[in-house]
A = this chain, B = another copy of it.
Protein backbone atom coordinates (compact mmCIF):
# COMPACT_ATOMS: atom_id res chain seq x y z
CA UNK A 1 0.00 0.00 0.00
CA UNK A 2 1.54 3.20 -1.28
CA UNK A 3 0.80 6.08 1.12
CA UNK A 4 1.80 9.57 0.02
CA UNK A 5 1.80 12.45 2.49
CA UNK A 6 2.26 15.99 1.22
CA UNK A 7 4.57 18.16 3.32
CA UNK A 8 5.26 21.87 2.79
CA UNK A 9 6.49 25.05 4.40
CA UNK A 10 4.42 26.25 7.40
CA UNK A 11 2.94 22.80 7.94
CA UNK A 12 1.23 21.87 11.20
CA UNK A 13 3.42 18.89 11.93
CA UNK A 14 0.94 16.94 14.08
CA UNK A 15 -1.51 16.94 11.14
CA UNK A 16 0.81 14.64 9.23
CA UNK A 17 2.55 12.78 12.06
CA UNK A 18 -0.68 11.68 13.78
CA UNK A 19 -1.91 9.81 10.68
CA UNK A 20 1.62 8.69 9.82
CA UNK A 21 2.03 6.97 13.19
CA UNK A 22 -1.17 5.00 12.52
CA UNK A 23 -1.03 4.32 8.78
CA UNK A 24 2.67 3.36 8.72
CA UNK A 25 1.73 0.40 10.94
CA UNK A 26 -0.69 -1.06 8.34
CA UNK A 27 0.55 -4.34 6.87
CA UNK A 28 2.44 -3.62 3.66
CA UNK A 29 2.37 0.15 4.13
CA UNK A 30 5.03 2.22 2.38
CA UNK A 31 4.86 5.84 3.48
CA UNK A 32 6.50 8.60 1.45
CA UNK A 33 6.85 12.21 2.52
CA UNK A 34 6.56 14.32 -0.62
CA UNK A 35 7.10 18.07 -0.93
CA UNK A 36 6.86 20.68 -3.68
CA UNK A 37 10.65 20.17 -3.82
CA UNK A 38 12.95 17.71 -2.08
CA UNK A 39 14.46 18.99 1.16
CA UNK A 40 13.51 19.97 4.67
CA UNK A 41 10.28 21.92 5.16
CA UNK A 42 9.62 23.93 8.30
CA UNK A 43 6.67 24.19 10.67
CA UNK A 44 4.97 27.56 10.94
CA UNK A 45 7.13 28.66 13.91
CA UNK A 46 10.26 27.26 12.30
CA UNK A 47 11.07 24.94 15.20
CA UNK A 48 10.51 21.64 13.39
CA UNK A 49 12.15 20.56 10.16
CA UNK A 50 10.59 17.63 8.33
CA UNK A 51 12.26 15.94 5.37
CA UNK A 52 10.48 15.85 2.02
CA UNK A 53 12.25 12.80 0.63
CA UNK A 54 10.65 13.12 -2.78
CA UNK A 55 9.42 16.03 -4.87
CA UNK A 56 5.94 16.04 -6.35
CA UNK A 57 7.46 15.70 -9.83
CA UNK A 58 8.72 12.25 -8.79
CA UNK A 59 5.36 10.90 -7.58
CA UNK A 60 2.39 10.37 -9.87
CA UNK A 61 0.13 7.94 -8.00
CA UNK A 62 -0.87 6.74 -4.53
CA UNK A 63 -3.20 4.29 -2.87
CA UNK A 64 -3.74 6.84 -0.11
CA UNK A 65 -3.00 10.55 -0.54
CA UNK A 66 -2.98 12.53 2.69
CA UNK A 67 -2.89 16.32 2.69
CA UNK A 68 -2.23 17.84 6.13
CA UNK A 69 -2.91 21.41 7.16
CA UNK A 70 -1.15 24.42 8.55
CA UNK A 71 -1.08 28.05 7.52
CA UNK A 72 1.04 26.95 4.54
CA UNK A 73 -2.05 25.60 2.80
CA UNK A 74 -3.18 29.21 2.33
CA UNK A 75 -0.11 29.80 0.19
CA UNK A 76 -0.42 26.51 -1.72
CA UNK A 77 -4.01 27.38 -2.65
CA UNK A 78 -2.40 29.78 -5.14
CA UNK A 79 0.16 27.23 -6.40
CA UNK A 80 -1.13 25.85 -9.71
CA UNK A 81 1.63 23.24 -9.92
CA UNK A 82 0.75 21.74 -6.53
CA UNK A 83 -2.97 21.83 -7.26
CA UNK A 84 -2.50 20.10 -10.63
CA UNK A 85 -0.40 17.43 -8.87
CA UNK A 86 -3.17 16.89 -6.30
CA UNK A 87 -5.72 16.42 -9.08
CA UNK A 88 -3.45 13.99 -10.94
CA UNK A 89 -2.64 11.85 -7.89
CA UNK A 90 -6.26 12.00 -6.69
CA UNK A 91 -7.30 10.40 -9.98
CA UNK A 92 -5.25 7.30 -8.96
CA UNK A 93 -6.16 6.94 -5.27
CA UNK A 94 -8.28 4.53 -3.32
CA UNK A 95 -8.60 7.15 -0.56
CA UNK A 96 -7.85 10.87 -0.66
CA UNK A 97 -7.66 12.28 2.86
CA UNK A 98 -7.05 15.58 4.58
CA UNK A 99 -6.46 16.84 8.09
CA UNK A 100 -7.34 20.36 9.25
CA UNK A 101 -6.83 22.98 6.51
CA UNK A 102 -5.57 20.27 4.16
CA UNK A 103 -9.23 20.09 3.13
CA UNK A 104 -9.10 23.72 2.00
CA UNK A 105 -6.20 22.85 -0.29
CA UNK A 106 -8.04 19.80 -1.65
CA UNK A 107 -11.08 21.99 -2.23
CA UNK A 108 -9.01 24.71 -3.90
CA UNK A 109 -7.58 22.02 -6.18
CA UNK A 110 -11.16 21.19 -7.17
CA UNK A 111 -11.41 17.62 -5.93
CA UNK A 112 -14.04 18.26 -3.23
CA UNK A 113 -16.61 20.02 -5.42
CA UNK A 114 -20.04 19.25 -3.99
CA UNK A 115 -18.50 16.81 -1.48
CA UNK A 116 -19.12 16.86 2.25
CA UNK A 117 -15.93 17.62 4.16
CA UNK A 118 -14.54 19.12 7.35
CA UNK A 119 -11.55 21.26 8.30
CA UNK A 120 -10.41 23.21 11.36
CA UNK A 121 -13.53 24.53 13.12
CA UNK A 122 -12.35 28.16 12.84
CA UNK A 123 -12.18 28.03 9.02
CA UNK A 124 -15.10 25.76 8.19
CA UNK A 125 -17.02 28.34 6.16
CA UNK A 126 -14.08 28.64 3.75
CA UNK A 127 -14.85 25.09 2.60
CA UNK A 128 -18.17 26.38 1.25
CA UNK A 129 -16.46 29.28 -0.55
CA UNK A 130 -14.24 26.67 -2.21
CA UNK A 131 -17.16 24.54 -3.42
CA UNK A 132 -17.36 21.83 -0.76
CA UNK A 133 -20.17 21.19 1.74
CA UNK A 134 -18.92 21.73 5.29
CA UNK A 135 -19.94 19.15 7.91
CA UNK A 136 -18.98 19.53 11.56
CA UNK A 137 -17.96 15.94 12.29
CA UNK A 138 -14.58 14.85 13.60
CA UNK A 139 -14.11 12.58 10.58
CA UNK A 140 -16.19 13.05 7.42
CA UNK A 141 -16.41 10.42 4.67
CA UNK A 142 -17.89 11.10 1.25
CA UNK A 143 -17.10 8.41 -1.28
CA UNK A 144 -13.36 7.90 -1.33
CA UNK A 145 -12.76 11.25 0.39
CA UNK A 146 -11.97 11.39 4.10
CA UNK A 147 -11.44 14.66 5.94
CA UNK A 148 -10.67 15.28 9.58
CA UNK A 149 -11.34 18.27 11.80
CA UNK A 150 -8.39 20.27 13.17
CA UNK A 151 -4.87 18.98 13.86
CA UNK A 152 -5.28 16.14 16.38
CA UNK A 153 -8.32 14.71 14.54
CA UNK A 154 -5.97 13.10 12.03
CA UNK A 155 -5.34 10.28 14.52
CA UNK A 156 -9.04 9.41 14.64
CA UNK A 157 -9.29 9.65 10.85
CA UNK A 158 -6.33 7.32 10.38
CA UNK A 159 -7.69 4.71 12.78
CA UNK A 160 -11.00 4.72 10.89
CA UNK A 161 -9.11 4.24 7.61
CA UNK A 162 -7.03 1.43 9.15
CA UNK A 163 -10.21 -0.41 10.11
CA UNK A 164 -11.63 0.03 6.63
CA UNK A 165 -8.48 -0.75 4.60
CA UNK A 166 -7.17 -3.60 6.80
CA UNK A 167 -9.61 -4.72 9.54
CA UNK A 168 -11.03 -3.57 12.87
CA UNK A 169 -8.56 -5.94 14.58
CA UNK A 170 -5.59 -4.35 12.84
CA UNK A 171 -6.87 -0.89 13.76
CA UNK A 172 -7.28 -1.93 17.39
CA UNK A 173 -3.76 -3.36 17.50
CA UNK A 174 -2.40 -0.09 16.13
CA UNK A 175 -4.43 1.88 18.67
CA UNK A 176 -3.02 -0.23 21.48
CA UNK A 177 0.49 0.02 20.04
CA UNK A 178 0.34 3.82 20.22
CA UNK A 179 -1.55 3.60 23.54
CA UNK A 180 -4.26 5.89 22.20
CA UNK A 181 -6.48 6.05 25.24
CA UNK A 182 -6.82 9.81 25.36
CA UNK A 183 -7.42 11.62 28.64
CA UNK A 184 -7.33 15.38 28.00
CA UNK A 185 -7.08 17.31 31.27
CA UNK A 186 -9.84 19.70 30.08
CA UNK A 187 -12.99 19.37 28.01
CA UNK A 188 -12.08 22.32 25.82
CA UNK A 189 -11.23 20.64 22.52
CA UNK A 190 -14.37 21.61 20.63
CA UNK A 191 -15.78 25.08 19.97
CA UNK A 192 -19.15 23.96 21.37
CA UNK A 193 -17.73 23.08 24.80
CA UNK A 194 -14.76 25.42 25.26
CA UNK A 195 -15.45 28.57 27.32
CA UNK A 196 -16.79 31.31 25.04
CA UNK A 197 -14.01 33.79 25.82
CA UNK A 198 -11.37 31.22 24.93
CA UNK A 199 -13.20 30.30 21.75
CA UNK A 200 -13.38 33.93 20.61
CA UNK A 201 -9.71 34.53 21.35
CA UNK A 202 -8.57 31.44 19.41
CA UNK A 203 -10.93 32.23 16.55
CA UNK A 204 -9.63 35.77 16.30
CA UNK A 205 -5.99 34.70 16.22
CA UNK A 206 -6.53 32.01 13.58
CA UNK A 207 -8.68 34.14 11.30
CA UNK A 208 -6.26 37.08 11.51
CA UNK A 209 -3.30 34.87 10.58
CA UNK A 210 -5.25 33.20 7.79
CA UNK A 211 -6.41 36.53 6.34
CA UNK A 212 -2.86 37.90 6.47
CA UNK A 213 -1.53 34.95 4.45
CA UNK A 214 -4.51 35.03 2.10
CA UNK A 215 -3.79 38.68 1.29
CA UNK A 216 -0.05 38.03 0.93
**Most B C-beta atoms less than 10 A away, residue of A43, A45, A156, A184:** A184
- A182–B194 CB distance below 8 A: no
A211 contacts B by Cβ under 8 Å: no
Cβ distance A43 to chain B, nearest Cβ, rounded Å: 8
> How far apart sit A177 and B205, CA to CA, in the bound complex (Å)?
10
> How far apart sit A191 and B20, CA to CA, in the bound complex (Å)?
22
Nearest residue (CB) in B for A32 is: B47
**Most B C-beta atoms less than 10 A away, residue of A120, A176, A188, A191:** A176
Contact of A201 (CB < 8 Å), options: B45, B149, B173 = B173
Contacts of A159 in B (CB 8 A): 184-186
Nearest residue (CB) in B for A170 is: B198
- A189–B182 CB distance below 8 A: yes
A82 contacts B by Cβ under 8 Å: no
Nearest residue (CB) in B for A17 is: B17
> How far apart sit A139 and B24, CA to CA, in the bound complex (Å)?
26
Contacts of A150 in B (CB 8 A): 177-179
A181 contacts B by Cβ under 8 Å: yes
Within 163-209 of A, Cβ neighbours of B (below 8 Å) are at 163, 168-169, 171-173, 175-186, 188-191, 193-195, 198-199, 201-202, 205-206
> How far apart sit A38 and B13, CA to CA, in the bound complex (Å)?
20
- B17–A149 CB distance below 8 A: no
A14 contacts B by Cβ under 8 Å: yes
- B138–A181 CB distance below 8 A: yes
Contacts of A185 in B (CB 8 A): 156, 159-160, 163, 171
> How far apart sit A202 and B30, CA to CA, in the bound complex (Å)?
20
A31 contacts B by Cβ under 8 Å: yes
Known pairs A151-B177, A176-B189. 20 more at Cβ < 8 A? Answer: A12-B21, A13-B17, A13-B21, A32-B47, A33-B47, A40-B51, A49-B53, A50-B51, A121-B179, A150-B177, A151-B180, A152-B181, A156-B183, A156-B184, A159-B184, A160-B185, A163-B186, A171-B188, A176-B198, A179-B190
